[in-house]
Amino acid sequence: MTDKKVDKLVFFLPNTCTALNIACGFLSVIYSFQGKFYEACIFIAIGAFLDSIDGRLARLVGAESQFGEQFDSLSDLISFGMAPSMIFYFRFLTDFNRLGMVVAFMFLLCGALRLARFNANIDKVSSDYFQGLPIPGAATALIGYVLLSLEFGHLTILEVIAVPYILLYSLLMISNIPFPSFKKSDWVRRNKRKVLFILILLFAAVFVWTEGMVFTIISVYVFGSLIYMFTHKNKMKDIFSWDENANANQPHKD
């Protein structure tokens, strides 16, 4: 195989994962139209897995590019913006008529704003924290709630709080609340075996009881992050402050 063909193949691999992510979002929307909510949620989960590896694969093979970044953002808007908002709408919001449409659209809009802000500030924000909840996390929160309703469909409270629930996660995406990324965590680096063991346990728990564990895991992450922020206000207050006139790669420090 010639070097030119190898280069094309290297470029093709991560973008194939991104394209498959879009396919998962598309299939999820189709299944939500059909009322097959479990299948729709599973495709979002598969899309999230593909989204987690396409960037790493691009860095691993040296195929990072502006095209790949923009392609990834567009796929995220479909798979983690449009698809989960449609699932949530057909599961909980159809009885709210136009209000339900507006609420579902708010999630999609906030997801688009979150992605646009991420792209605009990618060289400024510390890699230790996300500025606002990432859109895959918000999508996971929505499908976790839907899966929980499939397990406990008799609990009417799930329908009662569906509107404030989706609005909460819409606002968390466009907030300035820091959510840990764990990318450069010292504890993670020092305890790789423990982290691997925890991940295996989490995957096993999700496999055994998907309907409850997806909701539980994302809720622990989100509300744990909120509690940490409120208990460390002084440390976190300027984390997303920077001098617009300074070098974009140098976050502003007071």
Residue 229 lies in a domain: yes
Residue 47 lies in a domain: yes
Distance CA 254, CA 121 (A): 19
Other C-beta atoms lying within 10 Å of the C-beta of residue 236: 16
Q: What is the pLDDT of residues 189-238, one digit of tens each?
A: 888 888 889 989 999 999 999 999 999 999 999 999 999 999 888 777 77
- 253 occurs within a structural domain: no
The CATH number that applies at residue 78 is 1.20.120.1760
Domain that holds residue 212: 3-236
Helix boundaries (H) for the chain: 3-33, 37-61, 66-76, 83-88, 98-120, 135-151, 157-160, 162-174, 186-190, 192-208, 210-231, 233-236
Residue-wise pLDDT for 3-21, tens only, equals 555 456 667 788 889 999 9
Number of domains in the chain: 1
User: Mean pLDDT throughout 90-94?
Assistant: 96
Q: Are 140 and 214 in contact (CB under 8 A)?
A: yes
Q: How far apart are the first and last CA of the chain?
A: 54
Whether 181 is in a domain gets the answer yes
| Domain membership flag for residue 18 | yes
Assess if residue 103 is contained within a domain.
yes
Cα separation, 125 vs 184, in Å, equals 14
**For residue 29, what pLDDT is reported?**
97
